[in-house]
Amino acid sequence: MEKSLSPNIATAQSSSLIRDEKDKEKGVEQICQWILELGDHDKRENALLQISKCRESIEDLAVWLWYSYGTVSVLLQEIISIYPYILPPTLTAAQSNRVCNALALMQCIASHRDTRKQFLEAKIPLYLYPFLHTTNDSRPFEYLRLTSLGVLGALVKTDEKDVVKFLLSTEIIPLCLRIMEQGTELSRTVATFILQ
């Protein structure tokens, strides 16, 4: 009886592997399509959302984002586009969510061993500092601050000298200290993690 089950199990496993490979291939094609759609202003918001949702399931997404033509520029455009809404504080939840999706992709790039160095050399963390300067405690601002802290937290997780040297050359210490005094509990926790 065991001998008759073995071929069935093997067949089921191989058909499952084939299905998994086809699903993986379709997933890669879809991610590539969304990355291309980042360049289309009309499709960008959905592409940001979709890529952000699946960012942790694709091992080398950071490399794809960093080396695909114009993608980092698009992410920076998204970040910079809301600077005017910081002061006076008129940032909406929809604007905050959109930028936080871009920041989540930046965090993916910051945390990957093959893109972290370039991320620092481009001084991209400096574009996040205006969000850390905000003191408005509304949910859109807090979400923006917390996601920005998450990008910096991803950098410091590695304990690399270049990361520490870069951050020490910026205003990160006073910013984190202020957030530790005035932020929400979660923001305080992430700010503390960055300073440790």
**pLDDT, tens only, 114-170:** 999 999 999 999 999 999 999 999 999 999 999 999 999 999 998 899 999 999 999
The total of other beta-carbon atoms located within 10 Å of residue 12's CB is 10
Q: What is the pTM of this model?
A: 0.86
Residue 22 confidence (pLDDT): 66
Q: Where are the alpha helices (DSSP H) in the chain?
A: 2-37, 41-53, 61-67, 71-80, 93-111, 116-121, 129-133, 139-156, 161-168, 172-182, 185-195
CA distance 172 to 77: 22
Residue ranges making up the domain that contains 28:
2-195
Count structural domains, the chain: 1
Residue 144 confidence (pLDDT): 97
Residues 6+ apart with CB under 8 A from 63: 112, 114, 115
The tokens for 46 are: 């959905």
DSSP-derived 3-state class of residue 23: helix
Q: Find out whether 147 and 100 touch, Cβ atoms under 8 Å.
A: yes
Residue 26 confidence (pLDDT): 75
Residue 95: is its pLDDT beyond 90? yes
What CATH number is associated with residue 123?
A: 1.25.10.10
C-alpha triplet 184, 190, 194: angle, nearest 5°:
140
59 vs 105, higher pLDDT: 105
* Listed residue (92, 47, 96) closest to 74, CA to CA: 47
Residues 6+ apart with CB under 8 A from 31: 51, 54, 58, 61, 64
The tokens for 66 are: 């960093």
